[in-house]
Amino acid sequence: MSAMECKELCSLAGKSAVVTGGAMGIGFGIVKRFVEAGASVLLADVDGKAAEAAAARLSGRIVPLAVDVGSDTAADTIVARCVESFGGLDILVNNAGIFPTVPLLQMPPELFDRVLRINLRGLVLLSKAAGLQMVKQGRGGKIINIGSIDSLRPSTVGLAAYDTSKGGVLMFTRSLALEMAPHAVQVNAILPGGITTEGTAHPLEGMTESQTKEMLEAFTRKIPLGHMGVPDDIAKVALFLASPMSDYMTGAHVVVDGGALLV
Ligand SMILES: NC(=O)c1ccc[n+]([C@@H]2O[C@H](COP(=O)([O-])OP(=O)(O)OC[C@H]3O[C@@H](n4cnc5c(N)ncnc54)[C@H](O)[C@@H]3O)[C@@H](O)[C@H]2O)c1
């Protein structure tokens, strides 16, 4: 087999992708890089207005879709819309996620259910629907799950539900990678550390503005590279995992945290 040239290795030309939570933050960063690399992108987000505004900011084949990944119908709706819009589905990025901060001893059961429903159940069911479509197409595919450094180690008190969901994301990634390998569908995870996004710029759910500021400052002080990341730090790794650059990787995770897990 002849080696691909660099330009071709990074190209997503002719590929169709779904990015959940694509209207802002890390998701929007990924949409931008995918479009730049030539992919057609279904930008799925619970905030329909933000999804439309995000799509309008970029030029390329981008279809916004208002959908809550935690709903029972989301997975089929997203896959059907992608196939209808672009003729298939080659790349899925499960990025949508929420991070309310409430210590377990004060946590209402509904909060646990909501976090698990969006961060884990939604990701699992969409991976299933996308996986079925990829198997049907018979040309392989790439599934990229956005976990967190909290998939490996709790970073702060109050994230018990979140950490449980993100630990699940990592184990699900490995399990699905094994199941999908015979179909040439690669399944990998990115585990971001602290990334400045719309979601971390506002007071975190369950915290006041000053508590959020204090927590983020304390977190940033401990990052060996000395600063928070930006969405493009994650988007570049997502492009790597979506492109032929990573064709022999599956069931793997890439930590992108400025060294936070080292200390
Ligand atoms: N920012 C960080 O520091 C950080 C660190 C580790 C992991 N992550 C993970 O990265 C992902 C994105 O985080 P972010 O900081 O960009 O978040 P964000 O809050 O800035 O953006 C999240 C996007 O997802 C959408 N969304 C939320 N719930 C949804 C739902 N039920 N269905 C569809 N869309 C939904 C929001 O409308 C928004 O557009 C999350 O899974 C998060 O857990 C973020």
Average pLDDT over residues 208-234: 94
Is 187's pLDDT higher than 80? yes
User: Is residue 21 lining ligand 1, measured as CB closer than 6 Å?
Assistant: yes
Average pLDDT over residues 8-28: 98
Q: How far is the CA of 2 from the centre of ligand 1 (A)?
A: 39
CB 92 within 8 A of CB 141: yes
How far, in Å, CA of 11 to CA of 14, rounded? Answer: 9
CB within 8 Å of 77: residues ≥ 6 apart: 65, 67
Does any domain span residue 2? Answer: no
Does any domain span residue 104? Answer: yes
The share of the chain scoring above pLDDT 90, in percent, equals 95
Residue whose tokens read 């304390």? 218
Does any domain span residue 3? Answer: no
Domain count, the chain: 1
CATH, residue 80: 3.40.50.720
How far, in Å, CA of 40 to CA of 64, rounded? Answer: 11
Average pLDDT over residues 128-148: 99
**Which residue, by CA, sits nearest to atom 22 of ligand 1?**
21
Average pLDDT over residues 23-49: 98
User: Is residue 27 lining ligand 1, measured as CB closer than 6 Å?
Assistant: yes
CB 112 within 8 A of CB 217: no
Does any domain span residue 4? Answer: no
How far, in Å, CA of 22 to CA of 169, rounded? Answer: 18
Q: How far is the CA of 25 from the centre of ligand 1 (A)?
A: 7
User: Is residue 167 lining ligand 1, measured as CB closer than 6 Å?
Assistant: no
Q: Which atom of ligand 1 is nearest to the CA of 51?
A: 39
State the Rg of the chain over Cα.
18
H/E run at residue 26: helix 25-36
Q: Read off the amino acid at residue 27.
A: G
Average pLDDT over residues 25-48: 98
How far, in Å, CA of 251 to CA of 188, rounded? Answer: 5
Q: Which domain holds residue 42?
A: 10-256
User: Is residue 155 lining ligand 1, measured as CB closer than 6 Å?
Assistant: no
Does any domain span residue 72? Answer: yes
How far, in Å, CA of 62 to CA of 44, rounded? Answer: 10
Give me the pLDDT at residue 162, please.
98
User: Is residue 146 lining ligand 1, measured as CB closer than 6 Å?
Assistant: yes
162 flagged as catalytic: yes
Does any domain span residue 5? Answer: no
Q: pLDDT for 65-121, tens place per residue?
A: 999 999 999 999 999 999 999 999 999 999 999 999 999 999 999 999 999 999 999
Average pLDDT over residues 8-31: 98
b/e string for 228-249 if b means 16 or more Cβ within 10 A?
A: bbebbbbbebbbbbbbeebeeb
Residue whose tokens read 């779904």? 18
Does any domain span residue 262? Answer: no
**Which residue, by CA, sits nearest to atom 32 of ligand 1?**
68
Quick one: CA dihedral 25, 258, 186, 60, positive or negative? positive
Q: Read off the amino acid at residue 174.
A: R
The share of the chain scoring above pLDDT 70, in percent, equals 100
Catalytic residue among 28, 86, 162, 172: 162
Average pLDDT over residues 223-235: 98
The crossing angle, in degrees rounded to 10, of helices 160-180 and 122-137 is 20
Does any domain span residue 157? Answer: yes
Q: pLDDT for 139-182, tens place per residue?
A: 999 999 999 999 999 999 999 999 999 999 999 999 999 999 99
Is 1's pLDDT higher than 70? no
Mean pLDDT of the chain: 97
Q: Which atom of ligand 1 is nearest to the CA of 198?
A: 20
Give me the pLDDT at residue 202, please.
85
pLDDT-based confidence at 32, cuts 50/70/90? very high
User: Is residue 29 lining ligand 1, measured as CB closer than 6 Å?
Assistant: no
